Structure 1
Amino acid sequence: MQNTPARAPDVVKSADRVLDLLELLGCATRPLGLAEVTDELGIPKSSALGLLRTLAARGYVERDAEDRYRLAHPFGREEGDWLGGLPRQVAAVGRPVIEALVARTGETVNLGAMVSGFMVRPLVQVASPQEIRYEPRAVDCPAYCTAMGRMLLAYMSTESVDLCLALPLRALTAATRTDPAAIRAQIALARRQGYAEIDGEFAEGGSGVAAPVFDRTGRAVAALNLASLTERWQRHRLDFIAAVTGAAAAVTARLGGRPPADAGRS
């Protein structure tokens, strides 16, 4: 799994951490505990606690009776709203690439990011123009059984993957992998290949591929996914994989990002 990438030389570390924390809380669908914040951001517990206390003192964050944190109103608005920042930027720069990919392949394309609870939240979805198509619902989806989720897990720490696979792993279809060892193998394969494939594990008759999108520090901040009917996927698999990996690289470039030095290696 990955090591924490170095930050760009023109980035102020303390300010970057504050923005990372605000974006994390802005994406969360529920209040987060200190341990969850520490794990998600990969920073020391003392640093996370100091940032949370400072933001709470300034009225940007609220702490509940169970010592969990969320954005204070009006910043959070409704629970689960996006704060903006990087997620909004990724969606904006990614949409033209997504639309071009849909035009090229004729299939549904999604851009998603990991949120709390190891769920993948859609940022952008452009549906296939074909009358008969696979169009996943634009809702939060579990990471363990989706192409986007496994791709993002491939760039998270071993501890994060352990936490994800310790959750209940429900079979959504007859093909869903629920054995943690089998899922770990798929996550490792995704890291080596640079893309993750799903064949009927999330929805019967639906298949697809996802590739990572990186920010300027080499962090995988989103995944680009093509969703197809299994029959069409089997006929065009290699073309679809090449199209998605190329499009994800284009979104990374538009974001000013770069893959980490060890991308494509286990």
Structure 2
Amino acid sequence: MEKNNNIKNHQIIKQENPSVQAVDRAIILLKLIADSSNPISINELIEKTKLNRTTVWRLVGTLENHDLVERDPITKGYQIGYATVRMANLAPQYHSLVRRSRWIMEKLRDESQETVLLSVPKHFATLTIEQIDPNHSIRLVDYVNAYLPLHCTSNGKMLLSYFSTEELDIFLKKPLEKVTALTITDPNRLREEIKDIKENGISFCLGELDENENGICAPIIDKKQNLVGFLNVCGPSFRFTEEKMSAIKNRLVEACKRISENLD
């Protein structure tokens, strides 16, 4: 009841200035989405705010365009987006994950002499939260705070291997972008690769996001068997070849296990 009163008060106070009223209403919607324990539907937002459907769609669409909210592909409801996390200078759990992983990443960097990335799963993307580079003059671009696609990255394909059958079907129904000449866009071929990743627990990327980059990925699983994140070793394709990626595979898996052991 108190929340509804606050909504009504906001709507009444801001009547004099339409532009401020729009901001006020968008903030109300953002708070409702943030307060919901599950993705909240447009109909629920309409019911709670008493705003008309067009207004709610327009405002939620604007919030989504700015990455403040994101739409769940299964429920079609809305939940808080990554931009809010970024403005908060990363969520506390990410700070903890980075802190508990960094020394292990540094050791893996020194062993491989290539870039090591730490990333976390997001809806239909992965988010890189830490990157440690070697001293080579030729190295990867900075991927920290970047969303990376699923079908053409090693950590993205690893995340796809954890999708339910329904989620994977939904994902593969949409056209897959041909980012480079090596990007896999055939759904059947991608399904076969995901099947292999499930069996082996390792995924590879061979010039699929950038023709000059290769990468290998393993998952970080907590003690409750939840997928927490991904650890990648990546490097220039002329230097970090398939042979070198295969040689680092066991060390990468071991590093992920060490990180898992450090998690509460």
Question: Residue 122 and residue 78 in structure 1: after superposition, are their counterparts in 2 closer, same or farther (change >3 A)?
Answer: closer
Within the candidate set 200, 215, 220, 1:208 is matched to 215
**Pairing 1:180–2:155 present:** no
Matched, 1:99 2:106: yes
Residues in 2 aligned to 1:167 and 1:128: alpha-carbon distance in whole angstroms: 37
Tell me the CA shift for residue 164 of structure 1. Answer: 2.3
Q: Does 1:120 align with 2:120?
A: no
Contact 1:212–1:222, Cα closer than 8 Å, also in 2: yes
Q: Percent identity?
A: 24
How far did 1:101 drift?
0.7
Structure 2: distance between partners of 1:239 and 1:67? 43
Q: CA deviation at 1:111?
A: 0.7
TM-score by length of 2: 0.67
Shift in CA distance, 141/80, structure 1 to aligned 2, threshold 3 Å: farther
Contact 1:175 1:200 in 2 (8 A): yes
* Aligned residues: CA RMSD: 3.0
Cα contact 2:68–2:80 (8 A) shared by 1 = yes
Aligned to 1:247: 255
Which has the larger Rg?
2
What is the CA distance between 1:96 and its match in structure 2?
1.1
Deviation string for 1:176-230 (max 9, x for gaps)?
0011111111111111111101111110121110000012220112110000122
TM-score (norm 1): 0.67
Size of the alignment, in residue pairs?
201
Using CA pairs under 8 Å that are at least 6 residues apart, name the structure with larger relative contact order, 1 or 2.
1
Quote how far apart the aligned CAs of 1:81 are.
Answer: 6.0
* Structure 1 unmatched ranges of 5 or more: 1-17, 23-27, 40-44, 46-65, 257-266
1:22-74 deviation digits (Å, cap 9, x = unpaired): 9xxxxx934245xx28x5xxxxx7xxxxxxxxxxxxxxxxxxxx973438xxx
Map of 1:52 onto structure 2? none
Answer whether contact 1:151 1:212 (CA < 8 A) is retained: yes
Unaligned residue ranges in structure 2 (runs of 5+)? 1-33, 39-65
Q: Is the 8 A contact 1:148 1:225 kept in 2?
A: yes
Shift of 1:79: 6.3
Q: 1 or 2, which has the higher helix percentage?
A: 2
